[in-house]
Amino acid sequence: MDDANPLVTRPPRFTHIHRLQERGHFGIKCGLENIQALLAGLGHPDKGYPVVLIAGTNGKGSTGAFLSHMLKAAGLNVGWTTSPHLTNVTERVWVNGEPIGAGALDLLLREAFEAEAQAGLRATYFELMIIAALLAFRMAGVEVAILEVGMGGRWDATNATDPVLTALTTVELDHQQYLGDTREAIAREKLCTARDGRPLVLGPVLDPDWIRPLLPCQPTLHPAPRLGSVDIHWDHSRVGKRRVGLAGLHQVDNLATAFEVVRQLRAQGFPIPEARLWPSVASVQWPGRLWKVPMLEGVWMDGAHNPDGARVLADHALACAVRPHLYVGSMADKDLRGAARELKRMHPLSVTFVQGDAPRYAASPALREAWELEAPMLTLRQAACHLRAQSEAPRLVTGSLYLVGDLLREMGIQPF
C-alpha cells in the first residue's frame, strides 16, 4: 500500500498554491507587459469594479485594514489584497472582511497559471497573486477593490489597473537597491500609481508642496487632515472619546488617510454613511502591527523593518513610558544600523537577536555590529520558548514581518 511506502511522493493538496510558492517572493521586474497580458487573457477582471490603490513605504496595510473595515461597515461588498502574509498565503486576499479559503485560492491560481501558459510568459509570484485576487473580486461581485501596492509602484502589478483613486501613505528610505537612494527618487516611483484628473490622497506626514513637482501626471491632490485630540495608550488610541483599535500615533495618521479616501469615494457617489464608520474603527485588528499575541502573556509583535517604522515604534514606547524586552530579527538587506539606532531610543530592558531559517535573515555578526551589542542570538524554536515563559515586563518582537510570521508558525498560533 502507498501509505506504507515512504518512497511514494504524493502531490500537494493544493497543487497551484505549491506551484506559486516555488516562484519565490522577492525582487522587482521592470515592465507591466506580463500582468497586462494575463489580464487581457482573462477578460480583464479588473474592469468589473472600481479600484483603489494604496501606495507608500509604511502604513499601507494598516490604512487598507481601516478602509476595508469602514467600507464593509457602510454596507459595501469589499475586496482587499495586501502583502506580505504572516502564516498563510490566503491572508493576501480578502473578500468582505474574510481571507479567501485555500481551496478557492488554488482554483483561482489554476486560472492564472493557465493564462500564463496561453500567453507564453513566466509571471512573478506577486503578479500571479494579484491576478488571483482580481479574479476573486470578480467572482465575488465586489463593489470596490482595495489593492495594496507592493514595492515601489511604477512597475508594480497593481499599477496595471485603472484606479479611481490612489492613496500615498508615507515616503521613506527602503528598498533603495531597487527604487533609488533618495526620498525624491522613491516618491517618483510610488507616484506613478496616480492618474490624471483623479484623486491622490496624501497621508498627513506628506507635504503637497514637496509632492507636486515629483508627479509624473496631474491628479487632484487631497492631503488628509490630521484627526482631532488624540489620547495615546500602549494598546490603543482615542480620538476624542472614540476608540481606535490599532495603537500608535502613526496609526491615527493612517486612519486619517483612510477617512480622506472615504470622503473622496463619497464625492464620486459611493453610499458611505458617516455614522457607521467610527464603530468599525474601534474593532480593527491588524496582526503584526503592535499586536498583542493571543495565548501569550505580555507579548507584542510589530513588523517594523526600516528606520522609519522603527522610529514610530520607539516614539510610541516612549510616549507610553513602556520599556520592553526586545526580540529583534531582520532581513540582511535592510538598514540594520538605522533601525537599531531608532529602537535603542526606547531604552529596552534587554535585547535578544533572533535568526530564522531562511538565508535572507541577518546573521548574528551583522546584528551585533549594527546594535554595537553582544546580545544573545536565538533560533526560532528557542525564541518561541522564551516568549511562552512568564515575564513581568512586556516583550516586543520586531524587525520584520517575516520574523513575526515565522514565530507564529513555530508556536502554532493563527493570526486570523
Q: Where in the chain is the domain with CATH 3.90.190.20?
A: 291-411
Residue 7: pLDDT over 60: no
Is residue 198's pLDDT more than 90? yes
pLDDT in tens, 94-113: 999 999 999 999 999 999 99
Written as one letter, the residue type at 241 is K
CB 193 within 8 A of CB 153: yes
Burial class of 4 by CB neighbour count within 10 A (0 to 12, 13 to 18, 19+): exposed
Say yes or no to pLDDT of 1 above 90: no
pLDDT of 152 > 90? The answer is no
Of the ranges 2-6, 194-198, 206-210, 285-289, which one carries the lowest mean pLDDT score?
A: 2-6
Rounded CA-CA distance 120/246 in Å is 44
270 φψ region: left (φ > 0), alpha (ψ -120 to 50), beta (else): beta
For the segment 288-309, the average pLDDT, to the nearest whole number, is 93
Which one is the CATH code of 15-282: 3.40.1190.10, 3.30.1330.40, 3.40.50.12780, 3.30.70.100? Answer: 3.40.1190.10
165-177: per-residue pLDDT in tens? Answer: 999 999 986 666 6
**pLDDT above 50 (res 10):** no
For the chain, where do the domains classified as CATH 3.40.1190.10 start and end? 15-282
Average pLDDT over residues 304-317: 94
- What integer pLDDT is reported at residue 9 of this predicted model? 46
Q: State which fold the 291-411 domain adopts.
A: Protein-Tyrosine Phosphatase; Chain A (3.90.190)
> How many other CB atoms are there within 10 angstroms of residue 88's CB atom?
17
**Cβ atoms of 239 and 303 closer than 8 Å:** no
Entry pTM: 0.92
Residue 117 scores a pLDDT above 60: yes
- State residue 56's pLDDT score: 94
pLDDT value of residue 177: 64
User: What pLDDT shows up at residue 223?
Assistant: 98
Q: Where does residue 135 rank: exposed (0-12), middle (13-18), buried (19+ CB within 10 A)?
A: buried
Contact 70, 144 (CB under 8 A): no
- Reported as a pLDDT band with limits 50, 70 and 90, residue 180 is confident
**pLDDT confidence of 23, banded at 50, 70, 90?**
confident
Say yes or no to pLDDT of 216 above 60: yes
What pLDDT score does 30 carry? 76
pLDDT band for 24, please (50, 70, 90 cuts): confident
